[in-house]
Amino acid sequence: MNWRIVGGCFLVVGATTNQFAAPFESPLTRQPTENPLRWYEFASDASASQTVRIQTPTDAPSGEFNLTMPNLEVDTDAALDRFITITAIPGRSGEEEAVAQKITELVRAAGVADRRIVFDGADKRTRIPGTCGNLIISLPGGGRGPRTLLSAHMDTVPICVGSQPVIDGDQVRSSAPTGLGADDRSGCCAILTAILERMRRGDENFPPAVISFLVQEEIGLEGARHLDVSQVGQVDRAFNFDGGTVEKMTIGAIGGERMTIKLNGIPAHAGVAPEKGASTIVMAARAIADLDARGWLGRVEQDGKFGTSNVGVISGGEATNVITPETHLRAEARSHDPEMRSRIVAEIRAAFEKAAAEVTNDEGACGSLEFDSHVDYEAFRLPDDHPSILAASKAIRMIGREPFGEVSNGGVDANWLFRHGIEAVTLGCGQRNIHTADETLMIPDYLDACRIATWLITEGADGDSRRTA
């Protein structure tokens, strides 16, 4: 096989199309130039140490180099079939059992022992009851090295129920008028592909790994929140496969808090004696107007700190002839800075308290406030040199893409994993237009996600030192 340097890259010369070639960081025993070079790999053989010939056009030296080749190949036809089968299974939040059953069946058939497959009972702790808990699969391995977690969520948003996945060019879409459900079945199937590939290559050849298929992500990260961490065990590196492009690594996310607000007023006949009442709608209006005027609603920037807030739901009153005695509101606050988020919540609370106290009837009786707030997910941010980030970057580069990190303004399962001491990078799988009827999956991206997931728990499982099986 011939290799040739082309503009700082090596290309395989004479590789046939079924001989997959992908660039990876140079594992050379000696560097041909001082420039950082990317290598194109001839990946027909797992982890084999091979000598290849490098041909150079001009300045770089040529010669024999000893390469250890990462095996990035997966069975792409099987990976795609798997996605189509599993995505066709209905499974909105709280109804994931059939999906979990199918996954269980496939990993069992691949040789994973029954005792390594457990449900953590999270569905007994979540806000809504579910048909099953988080599915946790342990792959004990036989190699030394970091213990790696791969995670994805099994539920889809309701618009995806009834999805009929069909291949359309280089995409998969639903032939029914539904969302596809690639969020997050593509994540599940990328991980599933990795498990099956690892079992095929021999679990005992790799360091330990653990997989979590989570429930109830779409209704507020409930599965991740109520994960039984004792079933997962200690983890050194973690990768959550969810929405977005393959290059994107979500390395942090905002924290969010939800408030329920109840205003109690004084009822009175609106025509006969309105002065006897204290209207909760007036209280709510005053509080909201006050927050808005002082910059605590919408995009919030106060004293150099940032966040967002919203009063999203308001309901109260049953008739126009009654001074409204009760109004319910729901609001939220977000910030990457937990202190700032708490401050926004405190301002919202104070504004409603003040309004309830100021709206009185003719005898000076005022309203009252019942205020409840709970943290949906806490903000987190991994350091740039975190082992999960380093490994994810390396994996993305190996498939020939340029990784970039992003801090999300929405909550992801990784927020809760972080609270449980599991520090995960979230990677995309090529889903597009998620949560809509136009959702599609980019097949090349999905297959790359399969390759990344596989590498992370096979040859890339031992961190920086390269395995030779």
Q: Are 32 and 39 in contact (CB under 8 A)?
A: no
Which of positions 220-279 make contact with Zn ion (CB under 5 A)? Answer: 242-243
Residues 41, 96, 97, 183: which binds Zn ion (CB under 5 A)?
Answer: 183
| Bond before 184 cis per omega within 30 degrees | yes
Helix crossing, 280-293 with 338-358: angle to 10°? 140
Closer Cβ to Zn ion, 103 or 266, answer by number: 103
Does the protein bind Zn ion through residue 439 (CB under 5 A)? no
CB of 103 to Zn ion, least distance (A): 16
C-beta of 217 vs 247, nearer to Zn ion? 217
> Smallest distance, Å, CB 153 to Zn ion?
6
Q: Is 342 exposed, middle or buried (0-12, 13-18, 19+ CB in 10 A)?
A: middle
Scan residues 120-149 and list those touching Zn ion (CB under 5 A).
none
- Span near Zn ion by CB under 5 A; candidates 54-62, 135-143, 179-187, 387-395: 179-187
Q: How far is the CB of 155 from Zn ion (least distance, A)?
A: 8
Q: Which is nearer to Zn ion, 73 or 183 (CB)?
A: 183
Q: According to DSSP H, which parts of 333-381 are helical?
A: 338-358
> Residue 379, by phi and psi: left (phi above 0), alpha (psi -120 to 50) or beta?
beta
- Choices 182-190, 270-278, 335-343, 366-374 (CB under 5 A): range interacting with Zn ion: 182-190
x-marked contacts with Zn ion along 308-347 as a string, rule CB under 5 A: ----------------------------------------
Task: Give the whole-angstrom CA distance, residue 119 versus residue 228.
Answer: 9
Distance CA 412, CA 419 (A): 12
CA angle 266–271–272, rounded 5-degree value: 80
Whose Cβ is closer to Zn ion: residue 46's or residue 161's?
A: 161
**Shortest Å distance, C-beta 242 to Zn ion:** 4
Closest CB to Zn ion among 157 and 259?
157
DSSP assignments along 200-260, one per residue: HH-GGGS--EEEEEE---TTTSHHHHT--HHHH---SEEEEE-SS-TTEEEEEE-EEEEEE
- Smallest distance from the beta carbon of 167 to Zn ion, in angstroms? 22
CA distance 392 to 253: 17
| Minimum CB–partner distance for residue 434 and Zn ion (Å) | 7
Fill in the DSSP letter of residue 466: P
Cα(38)–Cα(47) distance, rounded to whole angstroms? 18
Stretch that binds Zn ion, among 176-184, 258-266, 283-291, 343-351 (CB under 5 A): 176-184
CB of 157 to Zn ion, least distance (A): 8
Residue placing its CB nearer to Zn ion in the complex, 152 or 395 = 152
CB of 366 to Zn ion, least distance (A): 45
Considering CB under 5 A, how many residues would be counted as binding Zn ion? 4
Nearer to Zn ion, 73 or 155 (CB): 155
> By C-beta, is 242 or 459 nearer to Zn ion?
242
Gyration radius of the chain's alpha carbons: 27
Interacting span for Zn ion (CB under 5 A) from 178-186, 208-216, 293-301, 356-364: 178-186
- Spatial distance between the Cα atoms of 345 and 296, rounded to a whole number of angstroms: 9
CB of 134 to Zn ion, least distance (A): 15
- Interface pick for Zn ion out of 73, 95, 155, 184 (rule CB under 5 A): 184
CA pair distance 278, 265, nearest whole angstrom: 5
Question: CB 429 → Zn ion: shortest distance, Å?
Answer: 10
Stretch that binds Zn ion, among 106-114, 183-191, 233-241, 286-294 (CB under 5 A): 183-191
**Distances in whole angstroms, Cα of residue 294 to Cα of each of 53, 262, 289, 347:** 69, 22, 9, 10
Element containing residue 328 per DSSP (H, E): strand 326-335
Instruction: Determine the Cα angle at 335 with ends 329 and 341, to 5°.
Output: 60
For residues 216 and 200, give the distance between their C-alpha atoms in angstroms, rounded to a whole number: 31
* Smallest distance from Zn ion to CB 253, Å: 13
Residues near Zn ion (CB under 5 A) are 183-184, 242-243
